[in-house]
């Protein structure tokens, strides 16, 4: 009985064997245990290669191999066996039970929360092999870019340690834009910002769950998809030591829109100074008139601000891991150090020390426990990310090239301050009269995180059929932020201070506790299991903020030394709790026909008090067509599976904290020296409840041609969000309050294609695999409680309206320049041309929304003997971005022409007949809220190129080394797009974002793209 | 098997030990559910402070650096200021009257209605208090605050009753008298309806308000409410009411002496101040509306027009001259907010001073249906006596009106947008020289101290132009379709 049970559970193992190889000979056979019972899902591998297959439910297997090859048969819980391929095409094998390894059987066959391998559709996965070629030192989410069907990854920015927006099947929230999925790291729930604590060297696999049947078990938090990250575990056997090292450097990626040089800018200013008001004839007062001689003189200074503000950022990474296994226990330990300076002058970037420890232990045949604990301590020193002169990125685009870095005497020598230091020049530099290097060197900021996360489980087999299990996952984060404005910084003189300091410390502990009982039994070809489970999750947060001012010097900044502590110093806390019951049934017949069903009921502390619970359910079917007898003759089909699923999931994470109460608070409010109380902006809606995400998916997965030369899967899906949550803004006249409502319904549908093809397969020679994926999406708002919802972002608006894509831009239509007088022309809301700009003429721009219509990636992997090369590209098409950066950099109004401009800004209307020009300059400048700078942000990017060489086997016979891999890698190689600037927009500006900002709606001045080169060595002892 | 059974029951117990509603009930540790608030006097005090507190935001006194606060908006819309061509160009479009429904000069509309809703929240709950002085005071404060903040919206966004012959019948503003976040109110159809409600609230406030000083800085007392009534009544042309409510204030409160002006404008002294918003360290810096920094490192948004600066006589009014102006980097800049007592740039928001009430009453005596020039002159001299070491005085007729207006422009510059509203409200006042009815006429000077440098692109805003009523920002209309845009936008 134990055997069968083990075998059944093994089917749930999450291994995906994609690759085989071309061969003249097909070896077939049956694999059985000592009792003669067939062993399904046994791995059959050609030794020394990654080519393999697995046995079916009747123990049958088929593999192509050369005569003389060694086939390795392995099945968890059994001793592996090696057989040399001889003349016979049939090899039947009996595997002996390995009592010592039994622990792994139970441990790896973990839980209903694990993803089975019987269904391929609805899961996108990357293995450690896939990750090896693309992985970024610190950011695992960015490594997913372009590699997973249905998953669109947009880096928020490229600051060291920054996270990415990971969007699964176009998931969005009508309120807050794109929605990140739930991250589950070894059973611990995490947010996107926690991901930097996961050392990518420790990752065994990444799976993204996209459809309902897979995601359901994470129901209350899985509606935006689930990313499951499994870290490496210890293995039985001899201790193994792996050392990964990597070093490299990165630079600013070209900005893709040329800036004016000194002469161009001076001539532009001169041209602008000549513009007069056509009615009065008076000069507009824009630009600066200079003589040709003055221009010649000033143009001799051509300061490359890019070179001043950026430098080459070095990065390095070291990771040591040790695994071992004893009779009843396996262990893995790792220790890593990573640093990434980043490219901005004056900042140290990101540093991290990480460690992890994992253990699985068998107490006896029916009791096991295991745990993993990981910790990371990281320090980030990055520039502020604002939309003004305090940002190096703003300054790069706006500082005039004819302005010097330091204040200089007429003879060219430097003016020194009373400490003998050079003084940053502010004259003529930009419209703010401020040089960002004062900020760079005058402030000292650091964020330190200590994150400890892990999970532990205990499980028992009460009878061979009945298993109970309890698991606790927890994630602790302590964040400390120090931000010091040095007393010597010029900024003090603008804000009336002599040094300020802000200390913010927060503690967050999130944990989840799950209990489950599973009953599994097989009767002949009937295999079934039933699970009931409960899950409780709790988030706790506590924060201390202490602000002080007036400090004695630039180097001592504890609040002890502050002249005064600000009265807005405070503490705050919050908690979120959720509880759910889960029931799941699984049945299959002969591992050919599968039916699964689930039900869950979840309650959330965030939901309206009259409506805290939601019920969700679904079912899936699958058919392993290749196992049918009528397929036996189809030699070219190695695997063919059909799967379909339908189900509902809940989502509550749009709901604001405590938004189910209307409250009044004195928190942080002082009127003079006295406390004051103000009502919360959010008013309670007792009926606000779970948004329901109904997911439908059908797909096929296949491995075809000459032993799986062509592999892939195709899915069609729909994703209907009913009662979607939206933060409604009420009338300004009634006090500008908001409330969370269930506002309507949206529907997303799409196709995913994921293919790979082995062009050459030769274990001893040249191998070449090409792969690619594409996801096409359509989105629509199908129901809404009012005519439209408008959401503003800096520079414009997007709208939700029935029949339109969500986040369709709502702008005044710009139709060019009147050649006769240079006026900017717009269409009014009745489609008449007008030269009067009015925001009331804004209309939805159909077909132009923030959301992409297609995205995906492609690339190739090749190897020849020890050499390997891989490269990949990704692309996104059909999404539009309001190019606020371009608007600002072409503008002439107000003070904007006192900043450097994009080349082309000088091309404005000057005389009747001018076409293809910017409008005639006016003091107003270019209007925002129009389509003039709404741009198609489609792009194709060449992300990665890796060249490696692996030395192993005979070459290392005389040294205690198993293998050495050396590689060089380039990332961020090229990008093609019609967009002015960087088309990949995550956050316009992280610091200026507010809750209603829509990710990817507008460009601003966030940390720019980088191009990096790395060299690495991995050694295994 | 025995031990297995034990485990079985243990785990089944785990599972069935389900969670109740209490396990997913979270209450905010940082705030109080509103139904449980408004029980004690202290809670009402906290809430009324919270209502006033919103005036410390952009539009009123927010110091955002965007030059959109009440202390500058009216000055940059009129003829006291010129965009400093070396500054950041803050509110540059408004300075040239190029605002539209996408870009408006001030956020006061948005902020005002937030204040109103907080005042209404207090008023809706005031029935929880026992009858008595405390209840009366809180009620009076909330009513007066609601009235005067509506008045601020009305004077920016609607016509002022004395602005034109049709002003009283022209489009009013939304007037909110209850706390209801989901209401979609309309604008009252006439300005006179708006002023009726303002006056009703102010009358009730003044009748309830307990005599004597306010319990703390930043709260209305009886004289503050009376002073506010004079401001509203002057805009309505109800001069008898100005005199009726203004005279007791003038009798009770002395204007700041010349020697006190320096400390008045560091906020160390509050002589003559009837109502002010208290600012403490870590609050916004008001000077950023005009300039940032000091000395050679100063960056200025607006320079003072040389022609306006020349109206001040350094010989006879050196204290006011020094308190109001600073010449730096060859610019004349507003000095009122630079020298904070607590911190450079940190100053209280002076919403109403007795000096304005004096000027209101003087003007009312002059314009009254039974004019009294001698009382007008005597009232004006209450102020002039504490500003000048010597002055000619003794004016009559239009000379007297000129002097009242000159003193008004000089005394109230850079403070409460008075210049804009004066030029707006006088456009249809009978019996005054035509020069006051022509809107804004700028000197044409540039931004440098000697009057050279880049001049404003636009120099004239004629009386009767639709731009005297600011546009309603389109997003306000998007959020509430019942709100009607002003004519001309």
What is the rounded (10 degree) CA torsion for B28, B30, B36, B38? -160
pLDDT bin (cut points 50, 70, 90) of residue A99 is very low
Q: Which range, of A184-198, A528-542, B56-70, B152-166, averages the lowest pLDDT?
A: A184-198
Mean pLDDT of the A344-349 span: 91
For residue A408, list its beta bridge partners: A414
Q: How far apart are CA A116 and CA A11, in angstroms?
A: 7
Mean pLDDT of the A829-849 span: 95
What 3-state class would DSSP assign to B154?
A: helix
Mean pLDDT of the A805-824 span: 95
Task: Give the closest-approach CA distance of A534 to chain B in angstroms.
Answer: 6
| pLDDT higher than threshold 50 for residue A603 | yes
**Chain A contact set for B15 (CB, 8 A):** 515-517, 532-534
Q: Which range, of A415-419, A628-632, B191-195, B222-226, averages the lowest pLDDT?
A: A628-632
Q: How far apart are CA A9 and CA A1016, in angstroms?
A: 39
Residue A886 DSSP one-character state: H
Task: Give the closest-approach CA distance of A494 to chain B in angstroms.
Answer: 4
Q: Can you say how many angstroms the Cα of residue B172 is from the centroid of all Cα atoms in its chain? A: 19
**Chain A contact set for B96 (CB, 8 A):** 923
Q: Are B246 and B227 spatial neighbours (Cβ–Cβ below 8 Å)?
A: yes
- Pull the structure tokens for residue A403: 């302005």
Q: Can you say how many angstroms the Cα of residue A802 is from the centroid of all Cα atoms in its chain? A: 29
- pLDDT tens by residue, A112-143: 555 555 556 667 777 777 777 666 555 677 77
Mean pLDDT of the A700-717 span: 88
Q: Chain B residue with minimal CA distance to A606?
A: B26
- pLDDT tens by residue, A635-655: 788 888 898 999 998 888 888
Percent of residues, chain B, with pLDDT higher than 70: 96
The closest of A155, A138, A249 to A1012, measured between CA atoms, is A249
pLDDT at res. A908:
96
Q: How many CB atoms lie within 10 A of CB A419?
A: 7
Average pLDDT, chain A: 85
Q: Does B84 touch chain A (CB under 8 A)?
A: no
Q: Rg of chain B over CA atoms, in angstroms?
A: 26
* Helix and strand element counts for chain B (H, E): 17, 11
Q: Does A434 touch chain B (CB under 8 A)?
A: yes
Percent of residues, chain B, with pLDDT higher than 90: 88
**Chain B contact set for A652 (CB, 8 A):** none
pLDDT at res. A284:
84
Q: Which range, of A19-33, B74-88, B258-272, averages the lowest pLDDT?
A: A19-33
Q: How far apart are CA B228 and CA A446, in angstroms?
A: 50
Q: Do B185 and A731 touch (CB under 8 A)?
A: yes
| pLDDT higher than threshold 60 for residue A248 | yes
- pLDDT tens by residue, A909-926: 999 999 999 999 998 899
**Chain B contact set for A604 (CB, 8 A):** 24
Residue A1002 DSSP one-character state: B
Mean pLDDT of the A273-277 span: 89
Q: Do B102 and A929 touch (CB under 8 A)?
A: yes
| pLDDT higher than threshold 50 for residue A18 | no
Q: Does B180 touch chain A (CB under 8 A)?
A: yes
pLDDT bin (cut points 50, 70, 90) of residue A818 is very high
pLDDT bin (cut points 50, 70, 90) of residue A233 is confident
Q: Are A821 and A832 spatial neighbours (Cβ–Cβ below 8 Å)?
A: no
Q: Return phi, psi of residue A626, to 5°.
A: -65, -20
Q: Which range, of A139-153, A669-683, A911-925, B427-441, averages the lowest pLDDT?
A: A139-153
Q: How far apart are CA A747 and CA A695, in angstroms?
A: 10
Q: Does A746 or A628 have the greater pLDDT score?
A: A746
Q: Which helix H or strand E contains B13, and what residues bound it?
A: helix B2-16
pLDDT bin (cut points 50, 70, 90) of residue A990 is low
Q: Do A674 and B216 touch (CB under 8 A)?
A: yes
| pLDDT higher than threshold 70 for residue A769 | yes
Q: Do B181 and A730 touch (CB under 8 A)?
A: yes
The closest of A657, A157, A193, A249 to A447, measured between CA atoms, is A193
pLDDT at res. A89:
77
Question: Which of the listed ranges A220-224, A233-237, B344-348 does the model predict with the highest average pLDDT?
Answer: B344-348
**Chain B contact set for A730 (CB, 8 A):** 181-183, 479
Q: Return phi, psi of residue A38, to 5°.
A: -65, 145
Q: Do A733 and B183 touch (CB under 8 A)?
A: yes
CATH architecture of B38-82+93-278+347-479: Alpha Horseshoe (1.25)
CATH architecture of A2-101: Sandwich (2.60)
CA distances from B274 to B150, B214, B253 (A): 19, 10, 8
- Pull the structure tokens for residue A715: 């899915």
- pLDDT tens by residue, A604-645: 998 888 888 989 988 989 898 888 888 888 778 888 889 899
| pLDDT higher than threshold 70 for residue A17 | no
Mean pLDDT of the A770-785 span: 94
Q: Which range, of A89-98, A189-198, B45-54, B337-346, averages the lowest pLDDT?
A: A89-98
Q: Are A796 and A928 spatial neighbours (Cβ–Cβ below 8 Å)?
A: yes
Q: Are A614 and A664 spatial neighbours (Cβ–Cβ below 8 Å)?
A: no
pLDDT at res. A708:
79
Q: How far apart are CA B342 and CA B347, in angstroms?
A: 8
For chain A, the domains span 2-101
What is the rounded (10 degree) CA torsion for A204, A187, A172, A936? -20
Q: Does B297 touch chain A (CB under 8 A)?
A: yes
Q: Are A586 and A605 spatial neighbours (Cβ–Cβ below 8 Å)?
A: no
pLDDT bin (cut points 50, 70, 90) of residue A744 is very high
Q: How far apart are CA A372 and CA A374, in angstroms?
A: 7
pLDDT bin (cut points 50, 70, 90) of residue A968 is very high
Q: Does A287 touch chain B (CB under 8 A)?
A: no
pLDDT at res. A42:
77
Q: Does B270 touch chain A (CB under 8 A)?
A: no
State the best of A442, A494, A518, A727 to mutate against chain B, taking most chain B CBs within 10 Å: A494
- Pull the structure tokens for residue A330: 């396996």
pLDDT bin (cut points 50, 70, 90) of residue A1009 is confident
pLDDT at res. B444:
93
pLDDT at res. A388:
82
For residue A971, list its beta bridge partners: A944, A1012
What 3-state class would DSSP assign to A824?
A: strand
Q: How far apart are CA A860 and CA B188, in angstroms?
A: 69
Contacts across the A-B interface (CB distance below 8 Å): 296
Of A564, A605, A666, which is closest to B281 when you measure between CB atoms? A564
- pLDDT tens by residue, A919-951: 999 988 999 999 999 999 999 999 899 999 988
For chain B, the domains span 38-82+93-278+347-479
Surface-to-core class of residue B374, CB atoms within 10 Å of its CB (0-12 exposed, 13-18 middle, 19+ buried): exposed
Percent of residues, chain A, with pLDDT higher than 90: 45
Q: Which range, of A54-63, A325-334, A616-625, averages the lowest pLDDT?
A: A54-63
**Chain B contact set for A893 (CB, 8 A):** 92-93
Of A432, A574, A683, which is closest to B88 when you measure between CB atoms? A432
Q: Does B92 touch chain A (CB under 8 A)?
A: yes
Question: Which of the listed ranges A219-233, A513-527, A816-830, A1006-1020 does the model predict with the highest average pLDDT?
Answer: A816-830
Q: Do A567 and B89 touch (CB under 8 A)?
A: no
B residues 36-55 lying closer than 8 A (beta carbon) to A: 37, 43, 46-47, 49-50, 52-54
- pLDDT tens by residue, A380-412: 998 877 778 888 999 999 999 999 999 999 888
pLDDT at res. A992:
58
Mean pLDDT of the B275-291 span: 93
**Chain A contact set for B8 (CB, 8 A):** 462, 466, 468
CA distances from B289 to A96, B66, B151, B267 (A): 84, 6, 23, 17
Q: Which helix H or strand E contains A1016, and what residues bound it?
A: strand A1010-1020
Q: Which helix H or strand E contains A746, and what residues bound it?
A: strand A738-760
Average pLDDT, chain B: 94
């Amino acid at each position: 009985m134990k055997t069968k049970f083990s075998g059944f559970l093994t089917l749930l193992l999450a291994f995906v064997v994609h690759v085989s190889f071309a061969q003249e000979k097909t070896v077939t056979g049956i694999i059985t245990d000592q009792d003669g019972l067939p062993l399904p899902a046994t791995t059959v591998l050609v030794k020394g290669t990654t080519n393999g297959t697995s046995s079916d439910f009747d123990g049958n297997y088929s593999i192509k191999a050369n005569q003389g090859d060694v086939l390795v048969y392995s099945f968890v819980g059994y001793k592996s066996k090696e057989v040399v391929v001889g003349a016979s095409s049939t090899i039947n094998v009996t595997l002996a039970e390995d009592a010592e390894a039994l622990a792994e059987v139970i441990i790896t066959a973990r839980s209903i929360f694990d993803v089975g391998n019987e269904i391929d559709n609805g899961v996108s996965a990357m293995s450690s092999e896939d990750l090896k070629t693309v992985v970024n030192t610190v950011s695992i989410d960015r490594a997913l870019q372009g590699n997973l069907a249905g998953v669109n990854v947009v880096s928020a920015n490229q600051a060291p340690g920054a996270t990415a927006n990971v969007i699964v099947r176009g998931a969005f929230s009508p309120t807050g834009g794109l929605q990140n999925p739930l991250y589950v790291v070894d059973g611990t729930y995490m947010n996107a910002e926690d991901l930097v604590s996961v050392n990518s060297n420790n990752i065994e696999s990444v799976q993204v769950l996209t459809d309902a049947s897979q995601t359901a078990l994470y129901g209350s938090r899985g509606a935006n998809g689930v990313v499951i990250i499994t870290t490496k575990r210890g293995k039985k056997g001899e201790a193994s030591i792996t050392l990964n090292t990597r070093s490299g450097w990165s630079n600013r990626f070209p900005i893709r829109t040329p800036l004016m040089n000194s002469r161009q800018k001076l001539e532009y200013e001169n041209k602008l100074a000549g513009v007069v008001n056509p009615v009065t004839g008076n000069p507009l007062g824009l630009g600066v008139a200079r003589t040709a001689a003055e221009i010649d003189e000033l143009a001799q200074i051509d300061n490359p601000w890019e070179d001043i503000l950026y430098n080459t950022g070095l990065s390095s990474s070291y990771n040591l891991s040790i695994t071992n296994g004893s009779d009843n226990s396996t262990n893995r330990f790792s220790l890593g150090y990573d640093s990434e300076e980043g490219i901005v002058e004056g900042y140290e970037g990101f540093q991290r020390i990480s460690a992890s420890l994992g253990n699985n232990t068998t107490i006896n045949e029916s009791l096991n426990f295991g745990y993993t604990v990981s910790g990371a301590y990281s320090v980030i020193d990055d520039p502020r990310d604002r939309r003004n002169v305090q940002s190096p990125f703003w300054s790069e685009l706006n500082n005039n090239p004819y302005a010097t870095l330091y204040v200089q005497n007429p003879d060219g020598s430097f003016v020194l301050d009373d400490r003998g230091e050079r003084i940053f020049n502010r004259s003529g530099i930009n419209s703010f009269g401020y040089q960002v290097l004062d900020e760079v060197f005058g402030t000292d900021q650091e964020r330190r995180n200590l994150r400890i996360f892990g999970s532990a489980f205990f499980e028992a087999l009460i009878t061979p059929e009945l298993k109970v299990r309890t698991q606790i996952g927890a994630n602790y984060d302590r964040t400390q932020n120090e931000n010091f404005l040095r007393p010597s910084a010029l900024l003090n003189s603008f804000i009336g201070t002599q040094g300020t300091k802000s200390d913010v410390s927060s503690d967050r502990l999130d944990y989840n506790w799950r209990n489950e009982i599973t009953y599994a039994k097989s009767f002949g070809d009937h295999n079934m299991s039933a699970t009931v489970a409960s899950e409780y999750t709790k988030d706790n947060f506590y924060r201390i903020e202490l602000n002080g001012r007036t400090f004695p010097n630039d180097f001592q900044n504890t609040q002890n030394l502050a002249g005064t502590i600000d009265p807005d110093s405070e503490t705050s806390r919050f908690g979120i709790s959720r509880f759910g019951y889960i029931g799941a049934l699984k049945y299959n017949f002969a591992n050919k026909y599968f039916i699964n069903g689930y039900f869950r009921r979840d309650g959330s502390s965030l939901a309206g008090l009259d409506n805290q619970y939601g019920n969700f359910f679904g079912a899936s079917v699958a058919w392993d067509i290749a196992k049918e007898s009528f397929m036996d003759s189809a030699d070219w089909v190695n695997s063919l599976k059909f799967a379909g699923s339908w189900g509902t999931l809940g989502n509550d994470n749009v709901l604001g904290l405590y938004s189910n109460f209307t409250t009044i608070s004195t928190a942080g409010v002082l009127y003079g020296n006295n406390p004051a109380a103000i009502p919360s902006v959010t008013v309670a809606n007792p009926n606000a409840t779970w948004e329901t995400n109904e997911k439908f998916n059908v797909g096929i997965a296949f491995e075809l041609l000459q032993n799986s030369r062509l592999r892939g899967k195709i899915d069609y899906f729909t994703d209907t969000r009913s009662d979607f949550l939206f933060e409604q803004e009420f009338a300004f006249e009634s006090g500008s309050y908001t409330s969370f409502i269930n506002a309507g319904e949206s529907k997303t549908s799409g196709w995913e294609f994921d293919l790979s093809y082995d062009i050459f397969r030769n274990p001893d020679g040249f191998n070449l695999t090409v792969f690619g994926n594409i996801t096409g999406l359509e989105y629509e708002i199908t129901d809404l409680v009012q005519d439209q919802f408008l959401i503003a972002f800096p520079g414009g608006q997007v709208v939700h309206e029935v029949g339109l894509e969500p986040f369709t831009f709502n702008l005044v239509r710009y139709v060019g320049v009147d050649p006769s007088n240079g006026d900017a022309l717009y269409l009014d809301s009745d489609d008449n041309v007008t030269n009067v700009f009015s925001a009331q003429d804004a209309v939805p721009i159909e077909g132009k929304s923030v959301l992409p219509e297609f995205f995906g990636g492609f690339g190739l992997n090749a190897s020849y003997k020890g050499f390997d090369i891989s490269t990949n590209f990704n692309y996104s098409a059909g999404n539009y971005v309001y190019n606020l950066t371009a608007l600002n950099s072409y503008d002439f109004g107000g003070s904007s022409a006192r900043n450097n401009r994009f080349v082309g800004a000088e091309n404005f209307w000057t005389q009747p007949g001018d076409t293809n020009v910017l409008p005639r300059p006016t003091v107003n400048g270019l209007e925002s809220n129009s389509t003039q700078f709404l741009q198609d942000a489609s792009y194709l990017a060449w992300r990665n190129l890796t060249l490696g060489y692996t030395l192993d086997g005979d070459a290392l016979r005389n040294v205690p080394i198993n293998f050495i891999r050396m590689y060089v890698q380039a990332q961020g190689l090229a990008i093609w797009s019609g967009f002015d600037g960087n088309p990949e927009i995550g956050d316009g500006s992280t610091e200026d974002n507010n809750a209603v900002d829509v990710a990817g709606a507008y460009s601003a001045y966030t940390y720019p793209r980088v191009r990096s080169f790395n060299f690495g060595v991995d050694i295994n002892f | 098997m025995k031990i297995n059974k034990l485990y079985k029951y243990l785990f089944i117990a785990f599972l069935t030990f389900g969670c109740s509603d209490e396990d997913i009930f979270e209450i905010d540790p940082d705030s109080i559910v509103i139904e449980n608030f408004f029980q004690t006097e202290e809670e009402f005090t906290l809430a009324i402070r919270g209502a006033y507190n919103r005036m410390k935001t952009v539009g009123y006194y927010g110091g955002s650096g965007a030059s959109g606060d009440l202390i500058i908006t009216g000055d940059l819309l009129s003829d006291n200021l010129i965009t400093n061509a070396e500054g950041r160009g803050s509110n540059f479009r408004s300075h040239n009257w190029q605002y539209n429904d996408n870009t408006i000069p001030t956020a006061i509309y948005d902020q005002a209605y937030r204040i109103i809703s907080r005042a209404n929240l207090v008023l809706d709950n005031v029935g929880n208090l026992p009858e008595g002085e405390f209840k009366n005071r809180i009620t009076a404060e909330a009513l007066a605050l609601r009235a005067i903040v509506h008045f601020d919206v009305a004077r920016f966004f609607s016509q002022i009753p004395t602005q034109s012959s049709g002003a009283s019948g022209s489009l009013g503003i939304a007037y909110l008298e209850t706390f209801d976040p989901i209401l979609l109110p309309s604008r009252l159809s006439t300005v006179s309806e708006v002023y009726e409600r303002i006056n009703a609230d102010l009358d009730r406030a003044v009748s309830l308000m307990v005599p004597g000083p306010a319990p703390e800085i930043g709260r209305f007392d009886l004289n503050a409410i009376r002073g506010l009534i004079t401001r509203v009544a002057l805009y309505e042309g109800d001069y008898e009411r100005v005199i009726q409510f203004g005279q007791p204030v003038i009798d009770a409160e002395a204007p700041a002496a010349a020697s006190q002006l320096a400390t008045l404008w560091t906020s160390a002294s509050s002589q003559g101040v009837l109502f002010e918003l208290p600012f403490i360290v870590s609050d916004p810096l008001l000077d950023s509306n005009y300039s940032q920094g000091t000395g050679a490192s100063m960056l200025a948004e607006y320079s003072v027009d040389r022609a306006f600066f020349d109206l001040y006589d350094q010989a006879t009014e050196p204290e006011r001259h020094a308190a109001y102006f600073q010449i730096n980097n060859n610019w004349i800049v507003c000095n009122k907010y630079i020298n904070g007592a607590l911190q450079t740039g940190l100053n209280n928001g002076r919403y109403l001073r007795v000096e304005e009430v004096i000027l209101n009453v003087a003007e009312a005596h002059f314009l009254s249906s039974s004019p009294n020039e001698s009382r007008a002159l005597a009232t004006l001299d209450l102020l002039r006596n504490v500003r000048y070491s010597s002055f000619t005085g003794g004016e009559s007729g239009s000379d007297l009106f000129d002097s009242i207006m000159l003193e008004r422009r000089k005394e109230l510059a850079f403070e409460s947008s008075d210049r804009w509203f004066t030029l707006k409200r006088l456009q249809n006042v009978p019996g005054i020289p035509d020069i006051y009815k022509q809107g804004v006429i700028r000197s044409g000077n540039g931004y440098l101290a000697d009057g050279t440098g880049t001049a404003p692109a636009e120099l004239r805003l004629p009386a009767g132009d639709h731009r005297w009523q600011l546009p309603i920002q389109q997003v306000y209309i998007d959020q509430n379709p019942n709100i009607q845009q002003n004519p001309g936008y």
